[in-house]
Structure 1
């Protein structure tokens, strides 16, 4: 079980559970075609975003395998919602997890995704005691692939045209890190 001590503070960011007042900022990027491009969902309307927000607000801990924790990433200096990071507990027996991130394009290129993703890996490895964490992305999403490689995850697989997403066959790239690699990584 993982009950993070909120808020989680980094040098520039605050990671916290989503709140009702996040709806407008969440909708502002969830509605964008460029945000949904490499995701399974289409751009969301306001009602669908409100439903997603309600589900995210309901999970603030990881209590059992199958749970997915999604945290709001807030730029402390401005108070702006920059995006979200997630950690899923895939298997208790095998101590497996998966992490991911989605950011508002207005906040791209500033290192926020990297800064927040490090905290999710820390929650998985140090907080939950996971043995292995994976990250997956559409094969065309070079920015996400570059971020995961930059975090020290190893590229383990490139599945060619393995998923039919939005009517199109897409590639999937899988990255992973083991607990011992996390412990041995260079500290920045």
Structure 2
């Protein structure tokens, strides 16, 4: 799967992306809400090696990278989790390099991936799981048409402690009216 947007090329993660991904993913402060913060390049290599060869496999996570077209550099990634017996639902996660945050890249990348998931892959529902303190991500999701579905209390074990988790979702028919 490769998708172009105005400023981005979104494509599957590859072994040669390892250093770039480690560069922004290992930043513990910027990624404090992330579930995965690698501590070595080898850990990123292992993560990339586990990425499926095929997009849209049931019960898999598929990692895409966002490449800035002008800089020709990896500036972030989007994880797509395909789940459910009928493979009609997905969960999205997004990480952006610190220098590229608050510039609309996450919204631009997620928007074109969501469009492809709904129109090309006929997905019924897309969800995102967010820490309630992550106000920037919550604002991003609502700007894309997501609505809050649930607030789970101390349901997510992160950094050695139980934390709350907020789930946002959007249905295919809601997406068509959100555009």
Would the alpha carbon gap of residues 169 and 21 (structure 1) be closer, same or farther in structure 2, given more than 3 Å must change?
same
CA distance in 1 between partners of 2:139 and 2:53 (Å):
29
Match of 1:33 in 2: 28
CA distance in 2 between partners of 1:148 and 1:135 (Å):
8
- Contact 1:36–1:43, Cα closer than 8 Å, also in 2: no
Matched length: 179
CA distance in 2 between partners of 1:60 and 1:15 (Å):
15
The CA deviation string for residues 115-163 of structure 1, in whole angstroms up to 9 with x for no partner, is 0001221122112211111111112211111111110101111222222
Match of 1:18 in 2: 13
1:166-177 pair list within 5 angstroms: 166-177=159-170
The CA deviation string for residues 87-141 of structure 1, in whole angstroms up to 9 with x for no partner, is 2211242722111111111210110000000122112211221111111111221
CA distance in 2 between partners of 1:92 and 1:122 (Å):
22
TM value normalised by structure 1: 0.88
* Structure 1 residue runs of 4 or more that deviate by more than 4 Å after TM superposition: none
**What residue ranges of structure 1 are gaps of 5+ in the alignment?**
none
Q: Which segment drifts farther, 87-96 or 123-132?
A: 87-96
- Contact 1:135–1:174, Cα closer than 8 Å, also in 2: yes
TM value normalised by structure 2: 0.92
Match of 1:97 in 2: 90
CA RMSD of aligned residues (A): 1.6
Match of 1:51 in 2: 46
Q: Please state how far the C-alpha of 1:18 moved relative to its aligned partner.
A: 1.6
**What residue ranges of structure 2 are gaps of 5+ in the alignment?**
none
Paired residue for 2:111, among 110, 114, 118? 118
CA distance in 1 between partners of 2:87 and 2:169 (Å):
14
- Contact 1:31–1:43, Cα closer than 8 Å, also in 2: yes
CA distance in 2 between partners of 1:120 and 1:100 (Å):
11
